[in-house]
């Protein structure tokens, strides 16, 4: 009996083991109540049904697995889509719902087989939500852009208004000064003529009478006028028969017949420019006038001059046309100035004031510089008198630059030239270096003094500089301040150039703004227009010089380009 005891123990252990296993595994095969009318049936290994408030969802699974379940209130219920996502905006069914976490299920256990109408409903709701979100984003972005555009537009409008007011004020000052000068010149001329007439009547009456009888009716005398005289006189739209000689009348009639119907205004303009032209070149009698226009090219030049003034009856155009006419008929055909003047008369009828302003700005900064621009005060004065009249109304449209190129007044370059580079090249000692300290200047001079007007404050620092724009003028400058020691001259130039500065970009714009807002505005216009790639031809130089002279009275020597 004792020999069978071990076997009995082993059998008992096996029976207990299987019994425990049966109890453990049989607990998952029944029905589990989940509350609120929900029943989870796991007897079927292929299908499972969840019944909730009368809605039945069939869940087909590939292999058995454990579903993670949690209870939530009815206000937090959601619907599961076929992609495993939860949708909150669905019908509220009340009670609790079973939520399957997509990231916790590693197989297809939680795949729902929903009715077609429920899937379509969920897809439509999701699409509406996406469209509504997209519309909100677009409206928000549109409002931001509109607000930003309004701010930028307001800033530009304010800047343009300030610029226009500044330009108008400066132009008014310039015009007032020019008008005052014209009145002075006009008064002086009239007084001299009156005095001469009195002397002739009182002392030489017999000589004057005999000279009058010797002149034939076709040899009426007209006094010669200078450029200042022509600029100071106002147009005379009406001329009497006694003021117009037969040759002048013939030139007027010839033009009117050639260019169609003659109106009273056109006839007055043609007569005015014709009389002014013969007076300007110094023809005192009809015999001289006839000899002047006898060559075919001279007659053509007269026609082109008349055409230019009739097309643009402005004082600036009148002075340019008279200058070109004089060079065309008085200069020899072998000279460059004669050829350029003939070409200028041909293109004058097709150019307007915006074209001349472009030419004047290019000429001012590319082909000339003012040696008196050594400090802020002198530079501002130069800008107001020589730049602002041309900057006001300067066109930005590309068409004007194309037209100037077509008429061979400008040349388009391949390389751009920024405005800061032009200032740096024209005035290197003013813009490329900061300057020196007063102690350094005293140490170099060693007790010798320099007049105060030859030492100026730097543009780009609180240091000082010599009133010198570049080294090419150093010799004349040192002669004026009586410094002949070559070693001292060299040390002064080294001190001026001892602190170089990067005059470009935003730093250059700040320096120009500090000098004058006009200079900063012109820099913006230059760098954003065709000015940065344009240069002048000989014809452009000639027309620009004539226009600048008609506006400011400044005389520029063109011999370095024409001879």
* Of the listed ranges 34-38, 495-499, 555-559, the one predicted with least confidence: 34-38
With cut-offs at 50, 70 and 90, classify the pLDDT of residue 32: very low
CA-CA-CA-CA dihedral for 162, 163, 169, 175, to nearest 10:
-160
Please state whether beta strands 534-536 and 86-87 pair in parallel, antiparallel, or not at all (unpaired): unpaired
Residue 327 has a pLDDT of 94
Interval 529-547 mean pLDDT: 95
**pLDDT number for residue 477:** 92
**pLDDT of the residue at 144:** 60
Q: Is the pLDDT score of 225 beyond 60?
A: no
**pLDDT tens per residue across span 449-474:** 888 889 999 887 889 999 999 898 89
Q: Identify each DSSP E strand in 34-158 by its residue range.
A: 39-41, 47-52, 55-60, 79-80, 86-87
Q: Residue 5: CA atoms inside 13 Å, Cβ hemisphere, count? A: 3
Q: Is the pLDDT of residue 184 over 50?
A: no
Residue 409 pLDDT level (bands cut at 50, 70, 90): very high
What is the residue-averaged pLDDT of the chain? 75
Q: In this structure, are residues 79 and 86 in contact, taking their beta carbons and an 8 Å threshold? A: yes
Q: Which of 371, 351, 361, 369 is nearest to 392 (CA)?
A: 361
pLDDT of amino acid 148: 56
**Joined tokens for residue 341:** 């003047």
d(Cα 300, Cα 358) in Å, to the nearest integer? 28
pLDDT band at 165 (very low <50, low <70, confident <90, very high): low
How far apart are alpha carbons 28 and 50 in whole angstroms? 17
pLDDT digits (tens, 9 = 90+) for 325-374: 999 999 988 899 999 999 999 999 999 999 999 999 999 999 998 888 88
pLDDT value at 2 more than 60: yes
**pTM of the shown model:** 0.58
Strand partners, 445: none
Between residues 140 and 256, the one the model is more confident about: 256
Model confidence band, residue 123 (pLDDT cutoffs 50, 70, 90): confident
70 pLDDT higher than 80: no
Higher-confidence residue of 101 and 150: namely 150
DSSP single-letter state for residue 66:
P
Of the candidates 216, 272, 224, which has an alpha carbon nearest to the alpha carbon of residue 248? 272
Q: Which of 459, 533, 448 is nearest to 482 (CA)?
A: 448
Number of neighbouring beta carbons within 10 Å of residue 426: 17
The encoded tokens of residue 422 equal: 């032009």
First-residue to last-residue Cα distance in the chain? 147
- CA proximity to 458, closest of 487, 434, 423: 434
């Amino acid at each position: 009996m004792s020999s069978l005891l071990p076997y009995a123990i082993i059998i008992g252990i096996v029976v207990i083991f299987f019994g425990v296993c049966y109890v453990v595994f049989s607990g998952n095969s029944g029905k589990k109540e989940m509350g609120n009318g929900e029943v989870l049936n796991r007897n079927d290994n292929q299908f499972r049904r969840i019944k909730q408030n009368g809605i039945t969802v069939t869940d087909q699974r590939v292999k058995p697995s454990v579903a993670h379940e949690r209870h939530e209130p009815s206000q937090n219920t959601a619907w599961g889509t076929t992609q495993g996502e939860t949708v909150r905006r669905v019908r509220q069914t009340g009670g609790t719902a079973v939520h399957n976490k997509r990231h916790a299920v590693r197989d297809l256990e939680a795949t729902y087989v929903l009715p077609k109408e429920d899937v379509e409903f969920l897809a439509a709701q999701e699409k509406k939500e996406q469209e509504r979100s997209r519309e909100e984003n677009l409206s928000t972005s549109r409002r931001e852009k509109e607000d930003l555009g309004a701010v930028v537009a307001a800033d530009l409008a304010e800047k343009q208004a300030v610029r226009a007011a500044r330009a108008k004020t400066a132009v008014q000052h310039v015009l007032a000064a020019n008008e005052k000068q014209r009145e002075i010149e006009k008064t002086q001329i009239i007084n001299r003529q009156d005095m001469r007439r009195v002397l002739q009547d009182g002392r030489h009456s017999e000589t004057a009478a005999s000279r009058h009888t010797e002149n034939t009716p076709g040899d009426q005398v007209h006094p010669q006028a200078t450029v200042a005289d022509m600029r100071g006189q106002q147009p005379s739209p009406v001329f009497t028969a006694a003021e117009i000689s037969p040759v002048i009348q013939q030139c007027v009639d010839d033009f009117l017949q050639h260019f169609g119907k003659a109106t009273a205004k056109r006839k007055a303009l043609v007569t005015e420019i014709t009389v002014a032209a013969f007076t300007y070149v110094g023809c005192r009698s009809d015999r001289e006038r006839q000899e002047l226009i006898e060559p075919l090219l001279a007659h053509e030049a007269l026609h082109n001059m008349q055409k230019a003034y009739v097309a643009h009856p402005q004082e600036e155009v009148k002075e340019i046309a008279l200058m070109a006419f004089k060079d065309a008929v008085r200069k020899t055909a072998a000279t460059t100035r004669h050829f350029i003047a003939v070409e200028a008369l041909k293109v004058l009828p097709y150019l307007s004031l915006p074209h001349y302003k472009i030419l004047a700005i290019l000429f001012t900064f590319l082909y000339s510089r003012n040696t008196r621009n050594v400090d802020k005060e002198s530079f501002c004065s130069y800008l107001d008198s020589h730049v602002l009249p041309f900057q006001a109304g300067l066109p930005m449209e590309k068409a004007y630059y194309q037209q100037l190129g077509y008429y061979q007044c400008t040349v388009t370059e391949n390389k751009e030239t920024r405005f800061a580079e032009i200032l740096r090249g024209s005035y290197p000692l003013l813009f490329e270096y900061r300057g020196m300290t007063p102690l350094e200047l005293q140490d170099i001079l060693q007790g010798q003094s320099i007049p105060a007007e030859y030492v100026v404050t730097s543009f780009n620092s609180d240091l000082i500089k010599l009133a010198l724009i570049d080294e090419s003028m150093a010799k004349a400058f040192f002669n004026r301040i009586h410094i002949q020691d070559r070693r001292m001259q060299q040390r002064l130039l080294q001190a001026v150039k001892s602190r170089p500065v990067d005059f470009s970009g935003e730093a250059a714009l700040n320096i120009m703004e500090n000098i004058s807002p006009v200079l900063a505005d012109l820099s913006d216009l230059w760098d954003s227009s065709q000015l940065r790639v344009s240069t002048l031809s000989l014809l452009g130089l000639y027309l620009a010089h004539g226009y600048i002279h008609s506006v400011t009275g400044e005389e520029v020597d063109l011999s370095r380009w024409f001879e």
